């Protein structure tokens, strides 16, 4: 049985629908990431699971218990917020043990749990300090530790790394991933950062305007986005998306068909939205003329920004020191990597991979 089960969860504020029909089963030990732009409903969904927002419709189960109407304290969950919410006048030991004390756990058991979690998170040497004496990364560990000492069935994390600098976010992301595997509990993690989602999640739930757009493993949603929104949201740099026309086995893009590629097998004739990831295009001896407007050096990779005729594109290369803004280079595209979406519904079209040469 699922550790957590969301069954058509709905949240309304007056006549405004914030979340509509979210259904999801989360297994024990699974890390689920709710991903989407601001206002998509991901934090509201998490807060409904936590009991911090009432549920307007649907049901929520944790284990075999229907907790839809239960108070947060009765749901066997622990939450880590964006802000650390530590008591500034208490030591780290007292901060970690405060929740256990309020639950009536005896002093000896509290000490045991706090010491165990502190060792797990490598913060034993901080237990006698106050929060003001800690760095951002250390405070984030304490916030995680405060959740861990409770040993809940479910961990909820609401953008826990957003206040950290880029380097520390990477390190804390690694620590959370290792910690998740070690504790083996269900975890729901909210973020707008797709890198966090791709690197942490067992499955990603992509949301938009309160609706789930796609649920799948990171590479599944990357390789087979189910609609234009997911295609444009997942991937960095984002997928090239442009209107196109399929006719006589060719995919033609641009007002004057400046960019033409073999259409994927099985693609129907007519207007479509075509997608090509930047890494599916490369500078090659033969190809289509690509006018370079800007070059972004990323270290081991080089991002070229430009156009083929009126079609604006991004091309991701290995490191290239020889291409400058204003150059025109030949680029090729892998036809088997083309994504096609219905122009009107924006849903993915079923096709099979093309076998045409990549420079066609």
- pLDDT by residue (tens digit) across 12-69? 998 899 999 999 999 999 999 999 999 999 999 999 999 999 999 999 999 999 999 9
CB neighbour list of residue 117: distance below 8 Å, 6 or more residues apart = 96, 145, 148, 149
* Span 182-203, average pLDDT: 92
pLDDT at 357 over 50: no
Per 3-state DSSP, the chain is made up of helix, strand and coil in percentages (nearest 5) of 30, 35, 35
* Span 281-290, average pLDDT: 91
pLDDT at 359 over 70: no
The predicted structure's pLDDT at residue 354: 35
Side-chain-side CA neighbours of residue 83 (13 Å): 4
The predicted structure's pLDDT at residue 138: 86
Tokens of 130: 């106050």
Tokens of 141: 């560990």
Strands 339-342 and 270-276: antiparallel
The predicted structure's pLDDT at residue 358: 36
> Partners of 79 in the beta sheet?
156
User: Rounded to an integer, what is the distance from CA 314 to the centroid of its chain?
Assistant: 22
Q: What is the CA radius of gyration of the chain?
A: 24
The predicted structure's pLDDT at residue 122: 85
Q: Is the pTM above the cut of 0.85?
A: yes
Q: Is the dihedral of CA 172, 178, 183, 185 positive or negative?
A: positive
**Distances from the Cα of 129 to the Cαs of 38, 125, 145, in angstroms?**
36, 9, 15
Kindly indicate the confidence band of residue 256, based on its pLDDT and cuts at 50, 70 and 90.
low
Q: Report how far residue 56's alpha carbon sits from residue 241's, in angstroms, rounded to the nearest whole number.
A: 37
pLDDT at 351 over 80: no
% of residues, the chain, pLDDT over 90: 62
The predicted structure's pLDDT at residue 353: 45
pLDDT at 1 over 60: no
Q: Report how far residue 4's alpha carbon sits from residue 59's, in angstroms, rounded to the nearest whole number.
A: 11
Residue with tokens 């957003």: 162
Complete domains list, the chain, with CATH? 4-229 (3.40.50.300), 237-342 (2.40.50.140)
pLDDT tens per residue across span 56-67: 999 999 999 999
CA dihedral (76, 192, 42, 99) in degrees, to 10, reads 20
The predicted structure's pLDDT at residue 249: 85
Which of 71-85, 165-179, 204-218, 247-261 is modeled with the greatest confidence?
204-218
Identify the DSSP state of 35. E
Q: In what order do the strands lie in the sheet with 250-253?
A: 259-262, 250-253, 240-247, 270-276, 339-342
pLDDT at 217 over 80: yes
Tokens of 346: 């924006």
Residue with tokens 């590629």: 261
3-state secondary structure of 3: coil
* Span 184-192, average pLDDT: 93
pLDDT, the chain, mean: 89
* Span 317-342, average pLDDT: 92
Kindly indicate the confidence band of residue 271, based on its pLDDT and cuts at 50, 70 and 90.
very high
% of residues, the chain, pLDDT over 70: 96
Q: Report how far residue 113's alpha carbon sits from residue 185's, in angstroms, rounded to the nearest whole number.
A: 17
pLDDT at 355 over 70: no
Whether a cis peptide bond, with omega within 30° of 0, leads into 197 is: no
């Amino acid at each position: 049985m699922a550790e957590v089960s969301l069954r058509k969860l709905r949240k309304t504020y007056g006549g405004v629908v914030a979340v509509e029909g979210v259904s999801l089963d989360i297994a024990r030990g699974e890390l689920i990431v709710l991903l989407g732009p601001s206002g998509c409903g991901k934090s509201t969904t998490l807060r409904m699971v936590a009991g911090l927002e009432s549920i307007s419709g649907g049901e929520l189960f944790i284990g075999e218990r229907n907790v839809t109407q239960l108070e947060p304290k009765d749901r066997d969950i622990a939450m880590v917020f964006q802000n650390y919410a530590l008591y500034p006048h208490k030591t780290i030991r007292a901060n970690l043990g405060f929740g256990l004390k309020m639950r009536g756990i005896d002093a000896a058991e509290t000490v045991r749990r706090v010491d165990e979690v502190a060792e797990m998170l490598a913060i034993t040497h901080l237990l006698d300090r106050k929060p003001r004496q800690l760095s951002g990364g250390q405070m984030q560990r304490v916030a995680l530790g405060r959740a861990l000492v409770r040993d809940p069935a479910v961990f909820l994390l609401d953008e826990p790394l957003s206040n950290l600098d880029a380097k520390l976010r990477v390190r804390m992301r690694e620590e959370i991933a290792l910690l998740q595997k070690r504790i083996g509990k269900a975890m729901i993690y909210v973020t707008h950062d797709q890198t966090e989602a791709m690197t942490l999640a067992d499955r990603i739930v992509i949301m938009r305007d309160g609706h789930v757009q796609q649920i799948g493993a990171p590479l599944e949603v990357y390789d087979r986005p189910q609609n234009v929104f997911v295609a444009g949201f997942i991937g960095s740099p984002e997928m090239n998306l442009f209107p196109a026309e399929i006719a006589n086995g060719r995919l033609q893009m641009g007002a004057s068909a400046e960019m033409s590629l073999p259409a994927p097998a099985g693609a129907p004739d007519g207007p479509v939205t075509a997608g090509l990831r930047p890494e599916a295009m490369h500078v090659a001896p033969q190809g289509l003329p690509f006018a370079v407007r800007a070059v972004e050096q990323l270290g081991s990779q080089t991002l070229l920004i430009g156009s083929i005729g009126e079609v604006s594109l991004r091309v991701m290369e290995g490191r290239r020191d020889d291409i400058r803004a204003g150059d025109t280079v030949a680029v090729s595209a892998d036809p088997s990597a083309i994504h096609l979406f219905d122009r009107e519904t924006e849903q993915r079209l079923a096709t099979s991979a093309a076998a045409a040469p990549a420079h066609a």
